[in-house]
Amino acid sequence: MSAVAIPAVRRESLWSKAAWKLARDRTGMIALAFVLLYMLVAVGVTAGWWAADWSEVRGGKWEAMSAAHWFGTNLIGQDIFARAVYSTKTAFEVGLVVAVLATVIGAALGAVAGFFNGSWIDEVLLWLMGVLDSIPFYLFVAAIVFAMQDNPYAMHIAMISTFWTSVGRLIRGEVIKLRGLEYVEAAHAISVPEFVIIIRHILPNTTHILLVQATIMFVSAIKSEVILSFLGLGVKDGMSWGLMIAESSQEVMAGFFNNFLAASVLMFGLVMAFNMFSDALQDALDPRKVG
C-alpha cells in the first residue's frame, strides 16, 4: 500500500501578506507613485540635475507665467518654479532625518520602558515623556533656536525631541504585551541578557508599528518645517515652502499669488500623497486585516 503524500502547507508571513494587500490597493499605489515622483525630484536637486540656480536673478519683478518662468518670478526676479522645486529637497531632508531619528529614539526608549514596566526606569522615562509632551511645541522650538544661536539643526533637534514620545508610548504598550509571550520567557530561562532580548526578540516584532509611525512623522515634520520657516524659526540657509509662503504674505496684498500658489500646491500634493500612502500601509500591516 503506497503512502499518501500530504501537500505541504505554505505559511505566508505578515510582510508577504501585507505586500500583497498593499499592491492591490489602487489608491495606495497611486499615492506611492506620487511620493516616488517627489522623491525623484528631491534626488535630482541633491545631485544638481535641476533647480541648482534657484537663487539666481533671472528676470524682472513679478513676471507672469511664461515658457521661460513657469510660475513667474518673485520680487527680485528669481524663478519661482526653481525655488519651489528646490524646496522639495528641503522637505524630504527634514522629513527623513526627523522621522528616522525620532523613530529610532522612540523605539529604543519605549522598548526599555515597556520591558522594565513598573520599575524606576519605566517611571523616569514616563516622566520624561510627560514633561516633553506638556511643553507647547512652538515655544519649545523657539527656545531651542535661541539657545543654539541660529544653528541650522536647531529645528531638527526640537522636532526629534518632541516627536519620539508618541512612538515611545506606542512601543512601550506593545512591549508590555510581548514580554509575557512564551519565546521571551524561554529566552529568560536560558539566561539571555535582557537587552539582547529587547533588541533581537522584541523590537523586530514591533517593526510594523514603527514603519507606520515613521510615515506619519515624516508628514508631521514637513508640515512643522513649513510653519516654523514661515515664522522665521526654521530653514536658515536654503529655500523652503514655508519661506516662500512668508515671502508671499506681502505679494498677495499687491495681487501677486504665484509664490503662494506654487509653494501651497506642491506642499499639498506631497502631504496628501504621503497621508494616503500611510493609510494604505497601516491597513496592509494591520494583523487583524491581513488574513
Q: For residue 281, how many other CB atoms are within 10 A of its CB? A: 23
163-176: pLDDT as tens digits? 999 999 999 999 99
> Three cell numbers at 100?
528616522
Tell me, yes or no, whether 110 lies in a domain: yes
Of the pLDDT bands very low, low, confident and very high (cuts 50, 70, 90), residue 111 is very high
What's the pTM value of the predicted model, to 2 decimals? 0.86
What CATH number did the domain enclosing 104 receive?
1.10.3720.10
The tally of domains found in the chain comes to 1
Query: What does the pLDDT read at residue 87?
Result: 93
Query: What does the pLDDT read at residue 233?
Result: 82
Q: Phi/psi at 73 (nearest 5 deg)?
A: -125, 165
Of the pLDDT bands very low, low, confident and very high (cuts 50, 70, 90), residue 7 is very low
User: Amino acid identity of 52?
Assistant: A
Tell me, yes or no, whether 1 lies in a domain: no
Residues constituting the chain:
291
Decide if pLDDT at 2 tops 50: no
Query: What does the pLDDT read at residue 12?
Result: 59
Q: Are 261 and 276 in contact (CB under 8 A)?
A: no
Of the pLDDT bands very low, low, confident and very high (cuts 50, 70, 90), residue 94 is very high
Domain of 237 in residue numbering reads as 16-49+80-285
Of the pLDDT bands very low, low, confident and very high (cuts 50, 70, 90), residue 54 is confident
Decide if pLDDT at 212 tops 50: yes
43 vs 180, which has greater pLDDT? 43
**Mean local confidence (pLDDT), 241-257:** 86
Tally the C-alpha atoms within 13 A of residue 152's C-alpha that lie toward its C-beta: 8
185-210: pLDDT as tens digits? 887 788 778 888 888 888 888 888 89
**Mean local confidence (pLDDT), 37-57:** 90
Query: What does the pLDDT read at residue 8?
Result: 42
> Three cell numbers at 89?
529637497
Tell me, yes or no, whether 9 lies in a domain: no
Tell me, yes or no, whether 135 lies in a domain: yes
130 vs 137, which has greater pLDDT? 130
Please state, rounded to an integer, the average pLDDT across all residues of the chain: 85
Query: What does the pLDDT read at residue 169?
Result: 94
Decide if pLDDT at 13 tops 70: no
C-alpha to C-alpha distance for 189 and 186, rounded to whole angstroms: 5
C-alpha to C-alpha distance for 135 and 234, rounded to whole angstroms: 18
Decide if pLDDT at 10 tops 60: no
Decide if pLDDT at 118 tops 90: no
Query: What does the pLDDT read at residue 14?
Result: 63
Tell me, yes or no, whether 137 lies in a domain: yes
Tell me, yes or no, whether 189 lies in a domain: yes
Of the pLDDT bands very low, low, confident and very high (cuts 50, 70, 90), residue 4 is very low
**Mean local confidence (pLDDT), 117-128:** 93
22 vs 84, which has greater pLDDT? 84
Decide if pLDDT at 66 tops 90: no
* Cβ-Cβ contacts under 8 Å for 172 (sequence gap 6 or more): 110, 111, 113, 114, 117, 122, 125
Query: What does the pLDDT read at residue 285?
Result: 77
Tell me, yes or no, whether 54 lies in a domain: no
Query: What does the pLDDT read at residue 59?
Result: 82
Tell me, yes or no, whether 38 lies in a domain: yes
35 vs 63, which has greater pLDDT? 35
